[in-house]
Amino acid sequence: MAPSMTKAAPGTTGKTFFGHPRGLATLFMTEMWERFSFYGLRALLVVYLVAGGPDAGQGGAGHQGGGLAMTLATATAIYSVYNAMVYLLTMPGGWFGDRLWGPRKTVTVGAGIIMIGHLTLALPGQASFFIGLACVATGSGLLKANISKMVGDLYNGPDDPRRDGGFTVFYMGINTGSFLAPFVIGTVGQTVSWHLGFGMAAVGMGLGLVQFLIGSRHLDPRSSRIPAPLTAQEKTAVLRKSLLWLVVAILFYGVVVATGTFTLNWAMVPLTVLGLLIPLGMLVRIKRDTELTRAEQGRMTGYIWFFAAAAIFWMIYDQGASTVQAFGDAKTSTQLFGWDFPSTWFQSINPLFIILLAPVFAALWLALNRRGREPTTTAKFAFSLAVMGLSFFLFVIPMAMASDGTKVSPLWLVLIFLLHTVAELCLSPVGLSVTTKLAPAKYASQLMGVWFLAVTAGDSITGLLSIGGVDLSTTGVVAMEATLSALAGFAVYMYRRQITATMTEVK
């Protein structure tokens, strides 16, 4: 998009981007192309992993064969671990931006690593696949942790009236990229060549990187500064510890490989365990900090409820690209009004609903607030979990219908993703807001990072279940997950007064 020629808002000189600083256009486009590449890979990942195997779809649009012929259980575990690591790595990504490189350089390096990762995925072979996946996760962690901070740097502090609107525009970039990706990358990857699809994701990230470098002159100078640079002694200590852990890992896995006992579980199990232990460790460390006031301690008690609820939510929500997508590929008709389409297009439904419904929910909360009837944070979380549970209860119906080999209508998946979107809009933005409200002053930034680790925790649970042999694609397990989500929502609602009481002045 070109910068608008409207009159500059207060605090802005020259041309603007729809009334916002021109640097927002640079960050909008960077995030759009990064999400384009990320969600393109997300749409292809599970379908590619099972293609050619027993759980792959047969016939119809986009089943050209190839793929890695894995079982759905293995594919789900790999997808879950990958998604968990993307969000887990935002913590060290933020550290690199704050202490070593500064946000702008960290985003540049992250985008470059993402592009290299997709190019590596474009090469045939399992080794290149896993190396590429690791690169994409690493680069995403570096970029995701810093680009939002750069958006904030464009404005004159938290009280700048344009700030919330700027983040809304930025959020639309995320959803634009994620909406378009399955149509472009998904179609090419599924119907022409898997590796060409991965290559197109690299091109998308490359375009984002080029325009970021060209447009970076419009960014605030703070984006190039290192907020808390490491001292020489700290750099030496970090380097020494990093090398020590690297040597330990090389020796350990060298022995495992040499003895012929290495399997994927040797890599996935430690990562999923870390994905659970690190978020829990962060919460325990903050909660037990003796420097916190009694009020801050109480707020952290309430926050742990929200974190646990979010982990359950993301555990089910992220199966939209694994369990639900695999069902869409193998057991759902990909014909509508006589027109055949690739199953990867199902991944565009959720971002489309977000684009359509996000303004509706924002207006709804404002209208209810003016009437003094806006639901509390706990009520919104409880409703979100109930709706998420309902989505998987409904999922059981088409699963049962398809048990005899019948392919069900794609409208079932449209309904499931609609419910996912409604649940997301009642939890994800609300969770970000409550995190800023409940965070102790000492941990204002760190707790925001912990909030994203709820995704890591949820996906790690899914990964461990898949690794442990639990078949997440059976009606029994889907019904159990739906029940868990509904019960969690009921518990949050029933204990809403106790939770609110710990939050002191926050609703």
Query: Tokens 């204002």 map to which residue?
Result: 444
Residues in the chain: 507
Per-residue confidence band for 12, with pLDDT thresholds at 50, 70 and 90:
very low
User: Which DSSP category does 344 fall into?
Assistant: G
Closest to 86 (Cα-Cα) out of 494, 455, 471: 455
**18-32, 85-99, 150-164, 195-209 — most confident range:** 195-209
pLDDT tens digits for range 465-484: 999 999 999 999 999 999 99
Q: What is the pLDDT of residue 48?
A: 95
Average pLDDT over residues 37-46: 96
Helices (H), 290-336: 294-317, 323-331
Sort residue 8 into left (φ over 0), alpha (ψ -120 to 50) or beta: beta
**Which CATH code is given to the segment(s) 263-507?**
1.20.1250.20
Residue 155's contacts (CB-CB under 8 Å, 6 or more residues apart) are 11, 21, 162, 163, 166
Q: Is the pLDDT of residue 47 over 50?
A: yes
pTM over 0.85: yes
- Residue 469 and residue 102: Cα distance in Å, rounded? 43
Query: Are 34 and 111 within 8 A, CB to CB?
Result: yes
Residue 183, both tokens: 């149509």
The DSSP annotation for 5-39 comes to -SPPPTT--S-BBTTB-THHHHHHHHHHHHHHHHH
- Residue 492 and residue 473: Cα distance in Å, rounded? 27
pLDDT tens digits for range 331-363: 999 988 778 899 999 999 999 999 999 889 888
Phi, psi angle pair for 16, to nearest 5°: -125, 170
3.30.420.280, 1.10.10.60, 1.10.10.10, 1.20.1250.20: CATH of 14-229: 1.20.1250.20
Which secondary structure element, helix H or strand E, spans residue 336, and what is its range?
strand 335-336
C-alpha separations of 126 from 69, 123, 132, 265, 446 in Å: 11, 9, 10, 15, 36
Domain ranges of the chain: 14-229, 233-262, 263-507
C-alpha separations of 53 from 49, 67, 69, 129 in Å: 8, 8, 4, 17
Query: Are 415 and 394 within 8 A, CB to CB?
Result: yes
Average pLDDT over residues 120-126: 94
pLDDT tens digits for range 236-275: 999 999 999 999 999 999 999 999 999 999 999 999 999 9
Residue 362, both tokens: 């924002």
